[in-house]
Amino acid sequence: MRRKIKLICLLIAANFQANAQPRQEISLNGEWNSVIDQYDTNRGLARGDRPWGKNDREEHSIDDAPMLHVPGDWNSQREELKYYEGTIWYGRHITLTPESDKRYLLRFGGVSYRARVYVNGTQVATHEGSFTEFEADVTAQLRAGDNYIAVRVNNRRERDAIPAMSFDWFNYGGITRDVTLCVVPSHYISDYFIQLDKHRADLIHARVNLSDSVAGETVNLYIPELKKSVRMTTDDTGTAYADIPVKRLVRWCPANPKLYKVRLTTSTDTVSEDIGFRNIEVRGTQVLLNGEPIFLKGINIHEEIPMQKRRACTEADAIRLLDEAQALGVNMIRLAHYQQSRYMVCEAERRGILLWQEIPVWQAIDFSNTSTQDKAVLMLQETIRRDKNRCADCFWGIANETRNTPERNHFLARLLQAGRETDTTRLFVAAFDLARFDRQQDKFVMKDDFYHNLDVVGINKYMGWYEGWPKAPKDIRWDVCSDKPLLISEFGGEAKYGIHDNGDVAGSWSEEFQARIYQMNLEMFANIPNLVGICPWILFDFRSPTRLHQTFQEGFNRKGLVGDKGERKQAWHIIHNYYKER
Ligand code: GCB
């Protein structure tokens, strides 16, 4: 059974588009009927309503069921679903006349957490993981006239899932991202990867895949602004490759997020996309963007609109989050703790913001479970596949705060290998929380050897919040992963906007106390010789069922620099000034 599930997942993943949206698309966003199936009885909802005969004693109907809006989490849409974790069936009709020379790809931007998709009663896809996109070729299932699409969505937390039983964010359920029916020619460009050479500014590598394994097909690649027109030919897997020398390329960077129009054509298909080119690499303990050291002025962001207690899911939501990040003065964002929507990624790229994207391997995952390992590998591959042409994506994160055990090491090694096989152009990272102050050595040292395998090391360190200060911050020495670039991937503390005191009481939840934590951490960071950037935790207060303080938290993790109503706290100004001066 397990083998079968895995095979289905792989088939779906293989048929995966790059992060372009140049196609004719029919949006399936909007109102879907929904049925709560609390006990997973699954009775016939996959088929929807049909003209039943006299003797059919079916007891299901979805057509008159209440509506849920797609994209969107279910928790924020109906009071009765506020804390629901379980199964909900979604269903909708679509009327169309399929054209015989076209294929139809049904694409889900994100379904939280498990999805089983049916078209006219036939199962066309299963998918696990809330944050990665999947699609299925449904050409064979569609018919002229009325078509019925059903999705079984389940967001129950399970031990073998990723993330697993407990995590520090809200477990929103539902079809939380766009659903589209993508119409492509029957023989189409199914994927492509077009990026600058890792180390050279004058060489672009291109790989183009066609939907069918046909040798000898011509693929033309044009970059008009660079006056490039290249003819490529497919091999017998339907793949064409080219190395394209370029001159006077303007490379993408925060100060000038330049994108070029790139067009691909075959005898049957055309796609076109804005693509940027940049080099991202490590030299010694520095991160180089286009050959120059860069200091990463970062921020962490969850995909949530805290003001409305809901998951962020539209382009307007992405703009709102990114406007606030940009006001802070960032040049980098860690999209915590999972792949976020295409809107976030594309909009960040247009604004010249570097991205760290990661998969939700968060703390206590079932590392010894091979099926969990398989899921993690697939999630990382799906993450990379969607955004591989996005030059803003510079860092792929494989894990956050995991314990140093042999099972974990084996798991992460496998994951990393799969990641590096999928993408050789980006830097691989993980966030660790095992940098500890060693009193004997009188300095911070690293207690987790796995970091040697990574390109850049993220350290999460909550000095002044979860941990007291061993001495004055300016006197604290760091000797952590000294041979690698080190990014402080999380730090901070909690405060509720509007609470004030003189800033020296830990349990006060005051803005002053949080601001002081920030001030002191910045003093300490000045002593980290291999520091390449900082990433405060976090931009906005965010919902978390683990935050139970009834007066101050009210179900929110209050480490935001900005409160849940959008109010900037004092610590926001400290980071803003720090970034202005760097
Ligand atoms: C961490 C986690 C993050 C939590 C944060 C906290 O280290 O990576 O997901 O939300 O700490 O606030 O405790």
Give the ranges where 2-101 is alpha helix by DSSP (H).
2-14
pLDDT of 17 reads: 47
Smallest CA separation from ligand 1 atom 10, residue: 168
Residue 274 has pLDDT above 80, yes or no: yes
Residue 560 has pLDDT above 80, yes or no: yes
Residue range 416-430, pLDDT digits in tens:
999 999 999 999 999
pLDDT of 13 reads: 34
The pLDDT confidence band at residue 49, using thresholds 50, 70 and 90, is: low
Atom of ligand 1 at shortest distance to CA of 557? 12
Q: Is 574 helix (H, G, I), strand (E, B) or coil?
A: helix
Q: Is 396 helix (H, G, I), strand (E, B) or coil?
A: strand
Adjacent-strand bridge partners of 184: 103
Residue 15 has pLDDT above 90, yes or no: no
Residue range 371-392, pLDDT digits in tens:
999 999 999 999 999 999 999 9
Rounded Cα–Cα distance for residues 440 and 436 (Å)? 12
**Average pLDDT for residues 396-423, to the nearest whole number?**
98
**Average pLDDT for residues 92-103, to the nearest whole number?**
96
Contact 559 CB / ligand 1 (< 6 Å)? yes
Residue range 119-151, pLDDT digits in tens:
999 999 999 999 999 999 999 999 999 999 999
Q: How do beta strands 102-108 and 87-96 pair? A: unpaired
Rounded Cα–Cα distance for residues 233 and 239 (Å)? 8
- Of all helices (H) and strands (E), which one includes residue 355? strand 354-358
Atom of ligand 1 at shortest distance to CA of 490? 7
Contact 349 CB / ligand 1 (< 6 Å)? no
**Average pLDDT for residues 485-492, to the nearest whole number?**
98
Percent above pLDDT 70 for the chain:
94
Contact 553 CB / ligand 1 (< 6 Å)? no
Mutate to test the pocket of ligand 1, among 460, 466, 543 (most ligand atoms within 8 A of CB): 460
pLDDT of 44 reads: 73
**Average pLDDT for residues 316-337, to the nearest whole number?**
98
Whether the pTM exceeds 0.85: the reply is yes
The whole-chain average pLDDT of the chain stands at 94
Atom of ligand 1 at shortest distance to CA of 466? 13
pLDDT of 16 reads: 41
Q: What is the CATH number of domain 189-281?
A: 2.60.40.10
Q: Which residue has the higher pLDDT, 38 or 54?
A: 38
Give the Å distance between the CA of 464 and the centre of ligand 1: 14
Residue 79 has pLDDT above 50, yes or no: yes
| Domain chopping of the chain, boundaries | 10-184, 189-281, 293-581
pLDDT of 62 reads: 84
Q: Which one, of 430, 407, 572, lies nearest residue 490 by Cα?
A: 430
Q: Which one, of 333, 319, 349, 343, lies nearest residue 254 by Cα?
A: 349
- The third-level CATH classification (topology) of the domain covering 293-581 is TIM Barrel (3.20.20)
Its CATH class, for the domain covering 10-184, is mainly beta
Residue 11 has pLDDT above 80, yes or no: no
Which of 346-350, 445-449, 497-501, 506-510 bottoms out in mean pLDDT, i.e. has the lowest?
506-510
pLDDT of 134 reads: 98
